[in-house]
């Protein structure tokens, strides 16, 4: 079948060491993301959405965290890979963007330099090739005057533009999967809509799958083919977005839906 999942998460359980005991904050989460699909994870603050996405990318501190279950990305179990292999995955197969782009952009380097570095390090490009590709990527995410902005620093961009820079950087690795953890939450409503539209367009142009994390059912309705609802670390519902909106069963899902204007 052509539609084998790109990402297949099974019984994901993540625990943190706290006061000498392991405490699980994500329990038994299972879902698939198929090619070209957008899957939303929705839930209130503290429900375990970020821990789920950080577990998939293996970005939690080892020693203080324990991830169980399986995370198959293109049929490879990420939990079985070495840290070095994981860096390859992050540079080539899966990218992540966050709510606050400043957490991933380095304030002391120009944005052009930071995107070029992804391209020279992971894509084997020369500096010249990387520069041209960086400008192409900045144009792709609709940054006005892309060429001139190459030498600007992160703080010289507005919040919305900075999120576009982050998206350009995420695209530099040509990922099959983009994980977006509340990328529009910190933005004004108008800018939020623009970024959502951009992600939708890019997803088609780049033939990516997207795992989109949000607390906002309005955003889910706008962007997701399928939806996973999380509540207190557990998955309480999963299915096509239409069905969740029409027939969501869990009381928490119903509460979320009741809050949609």
Q: Residue 25, interface with ligand ADP (CB under 6 A)?
A: yes
In the complex, the smallest distance separating the C-beta of residue 52 from ligand ADP, rounded to whole angstroms, is 7
Q: Which does 51 bind (CB under 5 to 8 A by kind): Mg ion, ligand ADP, none?
A: ligand ADP
β-strand partners of 240: 226
Nearest residue to ligand ADP on Cβ basis? 50
In the complex, the smallest distance separating the C-beta of residue 48 from Mg ion, rounded to whole angstroms, is 9
Q: Which does 90 bind (CB under 5 to 8 A by kind): ligand ADP, Mg ion, none?
A: none
Q: Residue 50, interface with Mg ion (CB under 5 A)?
A: yes
In the complex, the smallest distance separating the C-beta of residue 43 from Mg ion, rounded to whole angstroms, is 9
In the complex, the smallest distance separating the C-beta of residue 41 from Mg ion, rounded to whole angstroms, is 10
Site map (CB under 6 A) of ligand ADP, residues 32-71, x = contact = -----------x-xxxxxxx--------------------
State the residues that interact with ligand ADP by CB under 6 A.
16, 25, 43, 45-51
């Amino acid at each position: 079948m052509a539609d084998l999942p790109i990402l297949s998460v099974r019984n994901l359980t993540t625990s943190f060491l706290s006061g000498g005991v392991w405490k699980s904050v994500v329990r038994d989460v299972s879902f698939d993301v198929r090619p070209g699909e957008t899957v939303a994870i929705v839930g209130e603050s503290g429900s375990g959405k970020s821990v789920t996405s950080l577990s998939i990318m293996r970005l939690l501190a080892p020693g203080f965290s324990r991830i169980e279950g399986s995370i198959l990305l293109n049929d490879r179990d990420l939990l079985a890979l070495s840290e070095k292999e994981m860096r390859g995955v992050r540079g080539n197969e899966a990218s992540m963007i966050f709510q606050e782009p400043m957490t991933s952009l380095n304030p002391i380097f120009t944005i052009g330099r930071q995107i070029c570095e992804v391209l020279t390090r992971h894509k084997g490009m020369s500096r010249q090739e990387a520069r041209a590709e960086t400008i192409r990527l900045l144009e792709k995410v609709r940054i006005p005057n892309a060429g001139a902005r190459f030498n600007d620093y992160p703080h010289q961009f507005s919040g919305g533009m900075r999120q576009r820079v982050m998206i350009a950087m995420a695209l530099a690795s040509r990922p099959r999967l983009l994980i977006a953890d509340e990328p529009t939450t910190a933005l004004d409503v108008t800018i939020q809509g623009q970024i959502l539209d951009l992600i939708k367009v890019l997803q088609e142009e780049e033939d990516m799958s997207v795992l989109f994390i949000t607390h906002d059912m309005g955003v889910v309705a706008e962007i997701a083919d399928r939806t996973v609802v999380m509540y207190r670390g557990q998955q309480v519902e999963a299915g096509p977005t239409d069905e969740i909106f029409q027939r969501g069963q869990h009381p928490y899902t119903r509460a979320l839906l009741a809050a949609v204007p």
